[in-house]
Amino acid sequence: MRPIKARISLDAMAHNLRIARQHAGSAKVIAVVKANAYGHGLSRALRALVAADAFAVLTMEEAANLRQMGIQQPILLLEGLFSVEELQLCTDLDVWPMIHCRQQIDWLKQRPAARPLNLFVKFDSGMHRLGFALSEFDAVMAELQSLPAVGEITLMTHFAQADESAGIAPALQAFQQHAGPTQLAWTTANSAALLRYPEARGDWVRPGIMLYGASPFTEIPAAELGLKPAMKLQSEIIAVQQLKAGDCLGYGCAFRAEQAMRIGVVACGYADGYPRHAPTGTPILVDGQRTRTLGRVSMDMLFTDLSTLPDARAGSPVVLWGEQLPVEDVAHAAHTISYELLCALAPRVRVEEI
């Protein structure tokens, strides 16, 4: 059996949810489990996060899966409706859609008013991705509140720079100038805002990446935030090669040895979800000791430097990320973010729960 596998800790996810609750204060917690729970597996994440007050997903299919798995808590659709037909599914599954555009309001007007539907209404506070302009706030709210098909409304925005030094102050102030006078429930805080800005808590918070034990900040490690990594991606050395000075390594000769050295071949590649663009120098653990990758990642294998690890051999354990090697460190070296690495875990990788 190929040695690569991902070990998923339910206890770590449950621990991270408790950290989210500590930061949330009196706000309720919506656990974001979109993208197959950020690559960790939806069903296992639900078992770990069962104490959440609500769940957030991207699609109606994901919402239906949650209901089939026995989830009774509210479910929020983070991109809202994709067709008028999904309104009936929202009723059948008791799902809360997020409303962010005029077309969705038009669909609501077509909906029978037998059972009012609870909504989250999103306003754009500076990201310019989804949401009504704040200048439309009064008109949008008046229209929605006039519809018999609409029940409770929760106001929502999403910050563009909660994880950066620019922060959230202008965006939060602009949002609250409109939301505050309504006295409606509101939500603004993703993981970064929840951890850094208590003024953004509102009535609901929406932790995502922190539930899986990764930091939303480039400058603050997850451990410093009290988070525990839920995923450990591990494999083994499957071959050892000796290079002479001048020898090249792998496709495109992307690495050339300046002196004689030992290298290890690891059973892990981009078809497993490891980033192909990870350059020479990306951190990796062999026999529990940090070393570096070398050359270009191929589909099924990558190379690691064994120059300082004389005892490493075929069969030596390798950690691609997890405990002792934060996924953020790998992401930083590969010029990406931990979200992408976790979500990219390939279906062919065996998963074990611990």
Handedness of CA 253, 254, 260, 261 (dihedral sign): negative
Amino acid identity at 90: C
Locate 207 and state its tokens: 């932790």
**Number of residues assigned to the chain:** 354
The string over 9-27, giving b where at least 16 C-beta atoms fall within 10 Å of a residue's C-beta and e elsewhere, is bbebbbbbbebbbebbeeb
The dihedrals phi and psi of 68, each to the nearest 5 degrees, come to -65, -30
CB atoms within 10 A of CB 210: 24
d(Cα 63, Cα 71) in Å, to the nearest integer? 9
The dihedrals phi and psi of 250, each to the nearest 5 degrees, come to 75, -175
User: Catalytic amino acids?
Assistant: 34, 251
